[in-house]
Amino acid sequence: MLDSIVILGGGFAGAATAIKLVEAGYPAGQMTIVEPRTELGRGIAYSTSDLDHLVNGPARMFSLYPADPGHLSRWLANHPDRRGWAGPADGNFDASFPPRCLYGDYVQSELARTGVQHVVDRAVDVLPEGEVLLASGRQLPATRIVLATGLVRNESGFAISDLVRAQGRYIGDPWAASAYDAIDGTDGDVAIIGSSLTMLDILISLEKRGFRGRYFTFSGRGLLVHARREAEAWPAFLRPEALPRTTLALLREIQRERRAIARAGEDWQRLVLSLRPFIEPLWANASDIERRRFTRHLRTFWDLAFHRAVPDSIAWLDRARTQGRYFNVAGRVRRLAPSAEPGVELTWRPRGDAESRSRRFDHVVNAAGYEADWRRLPDTLARNLLARGAVRSHPVGFGIEADAATGAVIGSDGHASRRLFAVGHPLRGAAWEASSVLEQIEGATRVARAVSADRMRDAA
């Protein structure tokens, strides 16, 4: 059989993997991306067409080619009026925060140069004989397969009445093209479940549609997304040869440095830049017990620190808060049910309170994030791979087990596969920040290297 690769998923991770495979010398003609969307390279994050939905970092951080950090900036400079975006007022594309739809255009343009084939279909299984089974019934032969399956929305934390869904007052997919058509008035109360970056996009979209009512965000700890500021990395305080192995030890190190930063009158965000090079070894050196402890106690704070919003995006939130139209609630949503008056009765349990409370809202939007546990995914491919033992759920509850250094998937037999690889979100348990853009690019590069090395060994 002709050596061939099938990439399952054509969002950012799948597109980056195809680009890196071609860059590593793999023939594009022997590569196929299976993706049900007609467009490749966008996924959920870069499918938005709103010019005020921005990448959450400067363009110099988002090049597809880390050795050439100015690649994206030059591409933007050559397309300054694309989609109506005028570009940065000062002409500094390196420091600009481009719209996410433009970044999707950039990824698409780089992918198009490879000539990789796109099969518009959905993968439902990987057969032991070496074929990928598609929803259409077609089978694609594959020497190697890459799981780049992206995100699945999370609705597991609360109950939703079927009547609420039928009334159209609950928006489960904030990225759908017609998501906010039901919110046709300029006033009223909107509840948003979640208070991070997706919440910010929802608020921006509604503000631009003329909504002038009130927002109530619900999250377990009541914490809000931070604004990103320009800062240099704080001097490294962790030593590679003596990294903390427990969550408590890491927390103590971070708290000590944060106090030192405060005494020096410096910005705490310098600490984030200092920590970033150590994320992978910290996670790799930790036991599963400590990883679970981290996700239970520190995950929320970690995500808020590392995934910040750019100033232009935060400005929309600040404006609503100044106008007295934004309220942040610390508590977990438990149930959505029809209210006596037209609307949704939202029941939540306030943080630190045993008694639940209820309140009527005109509409509710889900910004609660995405399901990471493969055992809960409502996806036929994931269920079949788990049942077949081709993959096994990561014990921390995020994604599947794999060798983070190569992306090789670990099956039920405990061995790393030479045939099945993963990039991006499926590797969240194997490499904690695997779903971030920079780490997805690095993950795609590692898979490309591993596949190319295997191919050379097979040829020899």
Per-residue pLDDT reduced to its tens digit, 85-96: 989 999 999 999
pLDDT of res. 176: 82
Residue 21 falls inside a structural domain: yes
Residue 64 falls inside a structural domain: no
> Do 168 and 290 reside in the same domain of the chain?
no
> Do 143 and 291 reside in the same domain of the chain?
no
- Gap between the Cα atoms of 198 and 195, Å rounded: 7
The CATH number given to whatever domain includes residue 167 is: 3.50.50.60
> Do 168 and 253 reside in the same domain of the chain?
no
pLDDT of res. 197: 93
Per-residue pLDDT reduced to its tens digit, 156-205: 678 999 999 888 899 988 888 788 988 877 889 999 999 989 999 999 99
Sign of CA dihedral 146, 64, 110, 436: positive
pLDDT of res. 82: 84
> Do 137 and 256 reside in the same domain of the chain?
no
**Residue ranges making up the domain that contains 244:** 240-298
pLDDT of res. 209: 92
> Do 358 and 384 reside in the same domain of the chain?
no
Calculate the alpha carbon distances from 360 to 129, 134, 203, 323, 342 in Å.
Answer: 54, 44, 19, 22, 9
Residue 184 falls inside a structural domain: yes
Residue 77 falls inside a structural domain: no
> Do 409 and 342 reside in the same domain of the chain?
no
Residue 144 falls inside a structural domain: yes
Q: Which of 278, 298, 318 is the last residue of a domain?
A: 298
Residue 68 falls inside a structural domain: no
> Do 192 and 49 reside in the same domain of the chain?
no
Low-confidence ranges of the chain (pLDDT < 70): 1, 155-156, 458-460
Residue 131 falls inside a structural domain: yes
Q: Which of 298, 321, 336 is the last residue of a domain?
A: 298
pLDDT of res. 459: 64
28 in Cβ contact with 455 (< 8 Å): no
- What is the count of structural domains for the chain? 3
> Which residues are CB-neighbours of 314 under 8 A, at least 6 positions away?
200, 225, 227
> Do 124 and 167 reside in the same domain of the chain?
no
> Do 37 and 10 reside in the same domain of the chain?
yes
Residue 232 falls inside a structural domain: no
- Gap between the Cα atoms of 284 and 277, Å rounded: 13
> Do 204 and 312 reside in the same domain of the chain?
yes
